[in-house]
A and B are shown apart, each in its own frame.
Chain A
Amino acid sequence: MEESTGSSVRSHCVGSTTVIYASDYLNKLSGEKIERECKRQLDLGCRALVIDFGNTELVNSIGISILLGIIDIAEKNGAQVVFSDVNRQTVELFEMLGLTRHVVLARDEHEALSTLAGIRTSVAAIGS
């Protein structure tokens, strides 16, 4: 497992999946840091992203718009995105703004990684 805080965003890689930890307030600045880290990891060959919101208490609409941008970038790179440990209020906001249509929600990081492993297994089975 490789851990990084190079761009002030804590992240670590589990195989080809990168787990990125959002801060307590997801706004423009912290959103852009996550975005930069996601791009960096995708450029390094990452095939899936888990963004963990376990520490996040509050998100604003600018932060959410950046998350939508991340989802777009991941899709273009053929990468999966899972949001984990999102609190109930934030889930409601994501639902209001349509994020949940494009992203899988997981209870925690472990479930996120399991979900991604399951997806990859299914994809591999379809391909074989």
Chain B
Amino acid sequence: MSPDSSENKARRIVGRVSRSEFVGRGVEIQRLIAHPFQKEGPRGLLLMLAPAAGVSELLRQAYDHLFNHRGNIVPIYFALNQTESTPVSAAIDFLNTFLRHYVAYRRNEPSLCEASLTLNDLAQLAPPTDFEWIDKLVGAYNRERFSNDDQALVRFCLSAPQRAPRRLERPFLIVDGVRLAQQPDQAMSFTLELVRALTGSNLPFALAGLRRHIREALHRLNVDFDSIATLKLGKLSEADGSRLIEHVAERHQVGISEETRDLLAQQLECSPFFITSIFQAAREKNSSLTTYRDCEQLYVDDLMGGHIHRLFSSILESIVPGAETRRALVRVLYEAAVADNRRFSFETWRKQLHLEPDQFEKIVRGLHIQEYVNWDGGTIEAGVSRGPWRDYLKIRYRLEILAEPRALIVGDTIAAFLKRAPGTMARHYRRVASLALRDIVSKFDGQRVPGSLLHYDEFKSQYRGSSVEEIHAGLDAETELIRLPQVIHLAGCAAYNPELEQVCDEDRCLVAHAFERAIYTDANEVVWLVAELESKLEVDLDLTQVWWRRLDQIARDSGFGRICIWLVSNEGFSDEASQFLKERKACTSSRQQVAFLTERLEEKPISGLASTADEFVMVLPMGEDNELIAANAAEQIARKLDFQPEAINQIKTAVVEACINAAEHSLSPDRKIYQRFRVESDRLVITISSRGIVPANIEAQNGEPGTPTSDNLAAATGRRGWGLKLIRTLMDEVEFERVDDGTSLRMTKYVRNSSSGAH
């Protein structure tokens, strides 16, 4: 068989499913596969996982691809085996895996990858060109093994990949470190050695692990983050989760319906592990999952004693080895999760568990890594993880703490889950149909939009009965623009007041910390409180007042200074409600307004000097009349747009003034002026930027442009400082864009034909 035959390319080696059955993570797998071939950039790739997000199959698929690719990369896949409970045994397993995968690749014999072979076997199986170094490595290992220095042995084993001779083929280590997080004490020491070995070598590697665990290890080792790229792995999307369920159901020959598929996707949080667990259980029991009842019965069964139960139990056992303490912890965790206030001091919990500080710290650290709690070093926040973990915890609490009969718990729990299923699906449907406020708010970014989009009463009076085209035209013509703030942090309201979970879905009620005009001063700081209200008709005054009070209360409780409340509903607000909100300077929008707003919010281009096809970018040193070069460039570009000669002269003068301002006021460290000329069909947009000092009054300078006259120009302070005022007179739109360092002035000139004679 030729190495590149199509059959070879599809071989399943360590993957548990074929490539065609692997669902989702398309971008991630491409990134992973491409990583070892990168000539420049970070050697390491960290895959930072949310708990239960699933990564094992992704790594296995990448391995299979690289193995079958037969390039000059030798893939090595290593996953910590749970039976290897000490750093030494884990390291020996690593060495064995490395040699097995190396030899398998060199011999192009996939079956060796999963074979049970000793190191001596592997030396014998090595191809002639590799025999010598592998034999030497095995010999050195045999000597090291009896040295009584565990750490030296661990380091020896982990350094094996670096002992491979430097030639065309390079090992690429793909390490599944998710399980490393399950044994905090011993595993952390192995984790640290492993991370040290990976980051200290000159070989490409990919390390996957729980995000909090990996981050902690990197910080403890003071690893240079420049040498490592990261890839965040959250939950699968709902579409991918549903597709995964269909594939797994087919593979295990378990019947499902569309309804149960969607319920399972929601209930199991699209987690590949939970999904696979349920279908394995269904296959073992020869059950179908075509009704809600089937699903809940099997799910409760799995929580009581199946795969999901074993996962959570083993994690808890790894965090708290002692049975009594574990029992006490289950009590504390559950009671805290259902308490009104879910935040507790470290000391409160420690005393409840009767533990020494260092013992308790290890436990809290383990819970934090698994994201069962949030711990900031002082306060512990419980109940942050939901889904199967919460279900498991409740069952375990009833079993161990309340000592209720097992049959009662099973019956009760199935009934409870069946009763909650419609609610789970309703939340899902609402989420699908929701307005994606989170996306919209995060795109605000200081952009200006027609004011009527945020004032329902105005929008209604202007556009009721108008066609979409008419509304677009009207919005285009509006002169009253609202500048949206730049949002710097966005969270669900429930993160500020957990009681709101009962009345609103997470993505329909948000708190956005922001700065107006993207200027980071106290005066510009503002918190937007945004809520999407449910109503088939215009929201009436009563409901409006309820929501106003809720959001206002969050603001008071959280000590927010200046706030802006934005209420959104499908059909807008009644006249009384609009009046009530207007008096309180709140913003209001209907679904239709939000749709128009979404269309008008642009994705901001990536900053820097990267230019698009219709952009010219130029960097000039300050001084030496170099502003003339910029002015001449502007002239040439303006000619392409058929500007009138007079307008061209105005543009040139404005460019000159902007360059002079940049040179005079910035104390620029690099003494450079960055210029960007963007050509659009009806305008030329020029941005002049420089690094250095941000003018103290930049906010005032960004005031809405009035109509400068010779009186107010000449009355400017003294005989200098006219530049910006001149620019405002010469150009149609002038605005300071926010940049972290220095200033960036954007000037726009519209093309007008000679008949309009506006120039």
Which residues of A approach B to under 8 Å, CB–CB?
25, 27, 29, 58-62, 64-65, 68-69, 88-89, 93, 95-98, 101
In the complex, the answer to whether A61 meets B657 with C-beta atoms within 8 Å is yes
List the B residue with the shortest CB-CB distance to A59. Answer: B653
State A62–B657 Cα separation when bound (angstroms). Answer: 9
Q: Quick one: given A61-B660, A68-B719, are A98 and B714 in contact (CB under 8 Å)?
A: yes
**7 A-B contact pairs sorted by A residue (CB < 8 Å):** A25-B628, A58-B656, A60-B656, A65-B720, A96-B708, A96-B726, A97-B713
B631 within 8 A of A: yes
By a CB distance below 8 angstroms, the chain B residues around A29 are 625
By a CB distance below 8 angstroms, the chain B residues around A93 are 653, 726
Partner pick for B653 among A60, A65, A68, CB 8 A cutoff = A60
By a CB distance below 8 angstroms, the chain B residues around A62 are 660, 720
In the complex, the answer to whether B710 meets A96 with C-beta atoms within 8 Å is yes
Shortest C-beta distance, A8 to chain B (Å), equals 15
Query: Which of B163-171, B235-243, B644-652 contacts the other chain?
Result: B644-652
Shortest C-beta distance, B657 to chain A (Å), equals 6
By a CB distance below 8 angstroms, the chain A residues around B656 are 58, 60
By a CB distance below 8 angstroms, the chain B residues around A97 are 710, 713-714, 722, 726
B729 within 8 A of A: yes
B723 within 8 A of A: yes
Partner pick for B631 among A58, A64, A89, A96, CB 8 A cutoff = A58
State A58–B722 Cα separation when bound (angstroms). Answer: 16
In the complex, the answer to whether A89 meets B646 with C-beta atoms within 8 Å is yes
List the A residue with the shortest CB-CB distance to B729. Answer: A96
By a CB distance below 8 angstroms, the chain B residues around A98 are 710-711, 713-714
Known: A58-B653, A59-B653, A60-B653; 15 extra A-B contacts, CB below 8 A, are: A58-B631, A60-B627, A60-B656, A60-B657, A61-B723, A62-B720, A65-B722, A68-B719, A69-B719, A88-B646, A89-B653, A93-B726, A96-B708, A96-B729, A98-B714
By a CB distance below 8 angstroms, the chain B residues around A65 are 719-720, 722
Partner pick for A60 among B660, B710, B719, CB 8 A cutoff = B660
Of B660, B722, B729, most buried by chain A (CB within 10 Å of CB) is B722
List the B residue with the shortest CB-CB distance to A87. Answer: B649
1/0 per residue, CB under 8 A from A, across B718-731: the answer is 01101100100100
Which residues of B approach A to under 8 Å, CB–CB?
625, 627-628, 631, 646, 649-650, 652-653, 656-657, 660, 708, 710-711, 713-714, 719-720, 722-723, 726, 729
Partner pick for B625 among A25, A88, A89, CB 8 A cutoff = A25
By a CB distance below 8 angstroms, the chain A residues around B726 are 61, 93, 96-97
State A101–B710 Cα separation when bound (angstroms). Answer: 10
State A27–B628 Cα separation when bound (angstroms). Answer: 10
In the complex, the answer to whether B625 meets A61 with C-beta atoms within 8 Å is no
State A61–B726 Cα separation when bound (angstroms). Answer: 8
State A65–B721 Cα separation when bound (angstroms). Answer: 10
Shortest C-beta distance, A93 to chain B (Å), equals 7
Shortest C-beta distance, A91 to chain B (Å), equals 11
Shortest C-beta distance, B27 to chain A (Å), equals 50
In the complex, the answer to whether A95 meets B710 with C-beta atoms within 8 Å is yes
By a CB distance below 8 angstroms, the chain A residues around B660 are 60-62
State A97–B649 Cα separation when bound (angstroms). Answer: 17
State A86–B650 Cα separation when bound (angstroms). Answer: 15
State A95–B711 Cα separation when bound (angstroms). Answer: 10
Shortest C-beta distance, A24 to chain B (Å), equals 9
List the A residue with the shortest CB-CB distance to B647. Answer: A89
State A98–B722 Cα separation when bound (angstroms). Answer: 12
By a CB distance below 8 angstroms, the chain A residues around B723 are 61
In the complex, the answer to whether A61 meets B722 with C-beta atoms within 8 Å is yes
In the complex, the answer to whether B708 meets A27 with C-beta atoms within 8 Å is no
State A19–B723 Cα separation when bound (angstroms). Answer: 28
In the complex, the answer to whether A58 meets B652 with C-beta atoms within 8 Å is yes
Shortest C-beta distance, A105 to chain B (Å), equals 14
By a CB distance below 8 angstroms, the chain A residues around B714 are 96-98, 101
List the B residue with the shortest CB-CB distance to A25. Answer: B628
State A69–B720 Cα separation when bound (angstroms). Answer: 11
Shortest C-beta distance, B193 to chain A (Å), equals 65
List the B residue with the shortest CB-CB distance to A102. Answer: B714
Top 6 nearest A-B pairs (CB, nearest first) are A98-B714, A65-B719, A89-B649, A61-B722, A60-B656, A61-B723
By a CB distance below 8 angstroms, the chain B residues around A68 are 719
In the complex, the answer to whether A89 meets B650 with C-beta atoms within 8 Å is yes
State A61–B718 Cα separation when bound (angstroms). Answer: 12
By a CB distance below 8 angstroms, the chain A residues around B710 are 95-98
Partner pick for A27 among B625, B650, B729, CB 8 A cutoff = B625
State A60–B711 Cα separation when bound (angstroms). Answer: 19
State A98–B646 Cα separation when bound (angstroms). Answer: 20
Shortest C-beta distance, B501 to chain A (Å), equals 59
Shortest C-beta distance, A74 to chain B (Å), equals 15
List the A residue with the shortest CB-CB distance to B715. Answer: A98
By a CB distance below 8 angstroms, the chain B residues around A95 are 710
Shortest C-beta distance, A95 to chain B (Å), equals 6
State A95–B649 Cα separation when bound (angstroms). Answer: 16
By a CB distance below 8 angstroms, the chain B residues around A88 are 646
By a CB distance below 8 angstroms, the chain A residues around B711 are 98
List the A residue with the shortest CB-CB distance to B628. Answer: A25
By a CB distance below 8 angstroms, the chain A residues around B719 are 65, 68-69
By a CB distance below 8 angstroms, the chain A residues around B649 are 58, 89
State A126–B710 Cα separation when bound (angstroms). Answer: 33
In the complex, the answer to whether A96 meets B713 with C-beta atoms within 8 Å is yes
State A61–B654 Cα separation when bound (angstroms). Answer: 10
By a CB distance below 8 angstroms, the chain B residues around A59 are 653
State A64–B660 Cα separation when bound (angstroms). Answer: 13
By a CB distance below 8 angstroms, the chain B residues around A27 are 625
Shortest C-beta distance, A94 to chain B (Å), equals 9
State A25–B213 Cα separation when bound (angstroms). Answer: 64
List the B residue with the shortest CB-CB distance to A88. Answer: B646
Shortest C-beta distance, A63 to chain B (Å), equals 10
State A96–B725 Cα separation when bound (angstroms). Answer: 10
By a CB distance below 8 angstroms, the chain A residues around B646 are 88-89
Of A27, A65, A95, A97, most buried by chain B (CB within 10 Å of CB) is A97
State A70–B552 Cα separation when bound (angstroms). Answer: 61
List the B residue with the shortest CB-CB distance to A69. Answer: B719
Shortest C-beta distance, A118 to chain B (Å), equals 26
By a CB distance below 8 angstroms, the chain B residues around A101 are 714
Shortest C-beta distance, A99 to chain B (Å), equals 8
Q: Quick one: given A89-B649, A98-B713, are A58 and B628 in contact (CB under 8 Å)?
A: yes
List the A residue with the shortest CB-CB distance to B721. Answer: A61
List the B residue with the shortest CB-CB distance to A60. Answer: B656
Q: Quick one: given A27-B625, A89-B646, are A61 and B652 in contact (CB under 8 Å)?
A: no
List the B residue with the shortest CB-CB distance to A89. Answer: B649
Shortest C-beta distance, B749 to chain A (Å), equals 14
State A32–B708 Cα separation when bound (angstroms). Answer: 28
Shortest C-beta distance, B716 to chain A (Å), equals 8
State A58–B723 Cα separation when bound (angstroms). Answer: 14
Partner pick for B722 among A25, A64, A89, CB 8 A cutoff = A64
Shortest C-beta distance, A83 to chain B (Å), equals 16
State A63–B355 Cα separation when bound (angstroms). Answer: 78
State A88–B723 Cα separation when bound (angstroms). Answer: 19
By a CB distance below 8 angstroms, the chain A residues around B657 are 60-61
Shortest C-beta distance, B687 to chain A (Å), equals 19
Shortest C-beta distance, A73 to chain B (Å), equals 13
Shortest C-beta distance, B728 to chain A (Å), equals 10
By a CB distance below 8 angstroms, the chain A residues around B713 are 96-98
Shortest C-beta distance, A123 to chain B (Å), equals 27
State A97–B656 Cα separation when bound (angstroms). Answer: 16
Shortest C-beta distance, B484 to chain A (Å), equals 33
Shortest C-beta distance, B410 to chain A (Å), equals 83
By a CB distance below 8 angstroms, the chain A residues around B650 are 89
State A29–B631 Cα separation when bound (angstroms). Answer: 18
In the complex, the answer to whether A61 meets B628 with C-beta atoms within 8 Å is no
State A60–B713 Cα separation when bound (angstroms). Answer: 14
